[in-house]
Amino acid sequence: MYLRYIPTEHGFSLTLPQRTRFDEGVAFVNAKSDWIANTLARMPEKKKLRFGVTLPILGQQVQILRDPELSKPFKLTATALHIRPDASKSSGEQIETVLKKIVRGELQALSEAKAAAIGRSINRVTLRDTRSRWGSCSTTRNLMFSWRLVFAPYEVLDYVASHEVAHLRHMNHSAVFWSRVEDICPDYRDWKDWLRDHGAELYRFVK
């Protein structure tokens, strides 16, 4: 049996082996009650995406500002993200849309550069709100990333892009694969550890 926390749903998932009785699963969960309570207690408080709040964006603390006079949809500076309001969407939807555009642009550029460095090319970059992984690479050279990486330091994006691009050469997690990751992201261990320690915090931001 395997019990894990799912940040996107603020809940838990229990995986049972075949032929396991339901009551056995319930007993297993009950036995883990202290772990469940401790896990929930460690989860950071949710923060809504709203104009006026300050968010961590690519490693910088940035205030989200409504800017009706803006000539383009958004403008990101070192301290503020200016967004031209859209009356057809809620503030949370507007902010999430802009954040996705920002992080997709960064991940696209990183992935293309990393792929070129190892003599490969990528096909397409897409974003999802993933539950259990920060990215993936398909055999058709399509890369997928969690849009929530926008809340992580830029170096984390560099590591995750390097990880997925390395799969263009090695569709496994062998020693050769990790050596390839290190070639294009020398300090990857630091940012891999950062995700392990702080990844759950990226799910605190909600519409």
- Per-residue pLDDT reduced to its tens digit, 176-203: 999 999 999 999 999 999 998 889 889 9
Length of the chain equals: 207
> Which residue did the predictor score with more confidence, 129 or 43?
129
Residue type, 189: R
State residue 46's pLDDT score.
Answer: 87
Q: So what's the pLDDT on residue 11? A: 75
**Does a structural domain hold residue 13?**
yes
In this structure, the answer to whether residues 38 and 98 fall within a common structural domain is no
Asked if pLDDT for residue 137 goes beyond 80, the answer is yes
103 and 179 assigned to the same domain? yes
Residue 85's pLDDT is 96
Name the β-bridge partners of 76: 81
Q: Which residues of 84-111 are buried (b: 16+ CB within 10 A; e: fewer)?
A: beeeeeebeebbbebbebbbbebbbebb
Q: For 43, which DSSP code?
A: S
pLDDT recorded at residue 8: 56
pLDDT above 90 for 64: yes
Residue 101 and residue 20 share a domain: no
Residue 67 lies in a domain: no
pLDDT score of 7: 64
* Assigned domain for 77 exists: no
Could you tell me if 97 and 16 lie in one domain? no
Model pTM score: 0.83
Same domain, 94 and 38: no
DSSP 55: E
Question: Per residue in 155-183, pLDDT tens?
Answer: 999 999 999 999 999 999 999 999 999 99
Alpha helices in 32-135 (DSSP H): 33-42, 91-117
Domain containing residue 177 = 90-206
Do 180 and 96 sit in the same domain of this protein?
yes
Domains identified in the chain, total number: 2
Q: Give helix 91-117 / helix 175-184 axis angle, nearest 10°.
A: 100
- Same-domain check for residues 97 and 38: no
* Claim to verify: residue 37 and residue 118 sit in the same structural domain: no
Q: What is the CATH number of the domain that holds 160?
A: 3.30.2010.10
Q: 202 — phi, psi (to 5°)? A: -70, -15
Higher pLDDT among residues 3 and 30, named by residue: 30
Helix (H) or strand (E) holding 136: strand 135-137
Q: Which is more confident, 14 or 142?
A: 142
Do 109 and 177 share a domain, yes or no? yes
Count how many Cα atoms sit within 13 Å of the Cα of residue 77 in the half-sphere of its side chain.
7
pLDDT of the residue at 197: 86
Report yes or no on 166 lying in a domain. Answer: yes
Q: Is residue 202 part of a domain?
A: yes
Same-domain check for residues 117 and 195: yes
pLDDT, tens digit (0-9, with 9 covering 90-100), for 5-61: 766 566 778 888 888 888 888 888 898 888 878 777 777 788 999 999 999 999 999
* pLDDT surpasses 90 at 98: yes
pLDDT at 168: 98
Same domain flag for 100 and 38: no
157 within some domain: yes
Q: Taking all residues of the chain, what is their mean pLDDT, rounded to a whole number?
A: 93
Residue 119 maps to a domain: yes
Local structure of 144: helix, strand or coil: strand
58 within a domain of the structure (yes/no) = no
